[in-house]
C-alpha cells in the first residue's frame, strides 16, 4: 500500500478532531458546567462536565499541574505512535486503518482540551437501570469505535501472507 493511500485515512482523523472541537465549543457556549438535561427518560442525558483526569474519571481528583503535564506528554506519545502506525502502513486493511484514524482523531481532540482548558469537556451520559456510564464526548466515542475496529481487524481480519508462506 502506497504512502498516499495510507495518508487518505487522515481525512477521518481531521473530521473527528473538527467534529469534536465544534461540538465541545457549541456545548460550552450554551451551557454552564453542571448543567443537565434528560433526553430519553432514565437512559440518555446531556450534561456539561469537565474531566481533568483520563477515561472514566481516573486521576480526576489529582488535577495538579504535574498530572496535567504528564497527561499531555502521554497523549503526545500515543498520538505519535498512532500516526507512525498509520503512515508507515503497519496495519494493511481498511478496517484497521479506519481504527487507527479514529483513535488518532479522538486522542488529538481530547489533547486539545487538555492543552487549552486543562480538562476534557464531556457532554453525553448514559444510564442503564442503576448503571451509570461516565460522561463522554465525540472524541471518546471515536476512540471506542476505533479500538473496536482495530481489535476486530486483529482478531478476525484476513491475515497477510509473508513471502516465505507463499507456496
Digit-coded pLDDT (tens) for 70-93: 889 999 999 999 999 988 888 878
Predicted TM-score (pTM) of this structure: 0.85
Residue where the block lists cell 493511500: 5
Contacts of 104 (CB under 8 A, 6+ apart): 13, 16, 79, 82, 83, 86, 146
pLDDT attached to residue 161: 52
Respond yes or no: is residue 122 known to be catalytic: yes
124 confidence band (pLDDT: 50, 70, 90): very high
Contact (CB, 8 A) for 100 and 85? yes
Instruction: Identify the active-site residue in 61, 140, 153, 164.
Output: 140
pLDDT tens column, 11-32: 999 999 999 999 999 999 999 9
User: Is pLDDT above 80 for 4?
Assistant: no
- Cell numbers placing 133: 456510564
Catalytic residue, chosen from 20, 122, 153, 164, is 122
Residue 129 carries which DSSP code? T
Q: What average pLDDT score do residues 37-55 get? A: 88
- pLDDT of 60 > 70? The answer is no
The verdict on whether 61 is a catalytic residue reads: no
Q: What is the dihedral of CA 28, 58, 70, 146, to 10 degrees?
A: -70
**What kind and span of H or E run contains 27?**
helix 10-30
Cell 502502513, residue? 89
Amino acid at each position: 500500500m502506497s504512502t498516499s493511500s495510507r495518508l487518505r485515512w487522515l481525512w477521518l482523523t481531521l473530521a473527528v478532531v473538527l467534529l469534536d472541537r465544534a461540538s465541545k465549543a457549541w456545548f460550552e457556549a450554551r451551557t454552564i458546567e453542571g448543567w443537565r438535561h434528560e433526553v430519553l427518560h432514565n437512559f440518555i442525558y446531556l450534561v456539561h462536565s469537565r474531566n481533568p483526569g483520563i477515561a472514566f474519571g481516573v486521576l480526576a481528583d489529582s488535577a495538579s499541574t504535574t498530572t496535567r503535564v504528564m497527561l499531555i506528554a502521554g497523549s503526545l506519545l500515543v498520538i505519535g505512535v498512532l500516526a507512525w502506525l498509520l503512515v508507515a502502513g503497519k496495519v494493511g486493511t481498511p478496517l484497521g486503518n479506519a481504527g487507527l484514524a479514529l483513535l488518532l482523531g479522538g486522542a488529538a481532540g481530547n489533547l486539545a482540551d487538555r492543552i487549552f482548558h486543562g480538562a476534557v469537556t464531556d457532554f453525553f451520559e448514559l444510564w442503564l437501570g442503576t448503571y451509570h456510564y461516565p460522561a463522554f464526548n465525540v472524541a471518546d466515542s471515536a476512540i471506542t469505535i476505533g479500538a473496536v475496529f482495530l481489535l476486530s481487524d486483529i482478531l478476525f481480519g484476513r491475515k497477510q501472507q509473508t513471502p516465505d508462506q507463499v507456496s
